[in-house]
Amino acid sequence: MTSYKDLGLVNTREMFKAAMAGKYAIPAYNFNNMEQIQAIIIACVETQSPVILQVSSGARKYANQTLLKYMGQGAVEMMKQTAKEKGLKEIPISLHLDHGDTFELCKSCIDSGFSSVMIDASHYTFEENTRITKEVVEYAHKFDVTVEGELGVLAGIEDEVVAEKSTYTKPEEVIEFVKRTGVDSLAISIGTSHGANKFKPEQCTKNEEGVFIPPPLKFDILKEIEKKIPGFPIVLHGSSSVPVEAVKMINENGGTLKDSVGIPEEQLRKATKSAVCKVNIDSDGRLWMTAAIRKHFNDKPGDFDPRKYLGPARDALVTMYKHKNENVLGSAGKV
């Protein structure tokens, strides 16, 4: 058993309390490899933003669970060194399991040093979701690990998480779920979606410039949920904006991505002015990393040293993460 405290990590409790008071959201960035985690730490130290490093079950299989534990510890050490070199404050870092689907997976992550876990049993009945979530909470809280639950289902694809359509969170269920499970935060469904292909053009309207505009988030549902559980931490999944610049760069350099529309950044910023204190972003990082790598190989097809193309990819990610912290989530300067 490894305690997250021994790795220099923190849980999300104080992060969320500060975020709700300050009307901003903690960035929750998924990572799968070293370059991604380097970019996240550099961007968040330089913008002085707290951060949640997210690991999906798919990423855990890809990167190896033992290696991931030490990557979390390494991220803390890298953060300290970067902050010292730049004369900046150290930032709080949480290591979080994203979309854990079983008690056993959540327990394994807790035992290996994760400071936060999500148990996603939202595809079950309300009663079964409640039972499984409570089981995880009871185990996690023995070790001061925070737990995120979910009510409602997001459409889209992200690793093993697949759903054909969204099921909006029912505000009338949230009080009972939170009370019976003891969760520390709640992921809800109000119109965000997993993956890069969030909305089809036919689901959208066009503005005067011919840009597709997706259906607005259901802020009425969010408002009702806030009334039911005032001051309780709310989480938005599937919140990538799918930047047209990244999609265009990919396609101009040999890619074949379909037209896709993400969540407008102004809507995310509006959401963070409420009880939404954690916003998950994964696909945007994948898109910018792929765009930079494709462009590099198109410009310099003879390169074979991974540092030559992963370096520019890491730089693209740093720029993107800094933009999110400063202009979308409002987390910059909050340490």
Phi, psi at 51, each rounded to 5°:
-150, 150
d(Cα 95, Cα 4) in Å, to the nearest integer? 8
The one catalytic residue in 98, 101, 120, 282 is 98
d(Cα 88, Cα 267) in Å, to the nearest integer? 31
Specify whether 315 is catalytic.
Answer: no
Which structure tokens are listed for 270? 């509006």
Do 97 and 109 touch, CB atoms closer than 8 A? yes
In 3D space, the residue among 187, 233, 229, 227 whose CA is nearest the CA of residue 17 turns out to be 233
Residue at 33: amino acid letter: N
**Residue 208: strand, helix, or coil:** coil
Compute, in degrees rounded to 10, the torsion defined by CA atoms 134, 227, 155, 180: 10
Which structure tokens are listed for 225? 């949920």
d(Cα 231, Cα 235) in Å, to the nearest integer? 13
List, in sequence order, every residue forming a beta bridge with 139; answer none if it has no partner.
none
Catalytic center residues:
98
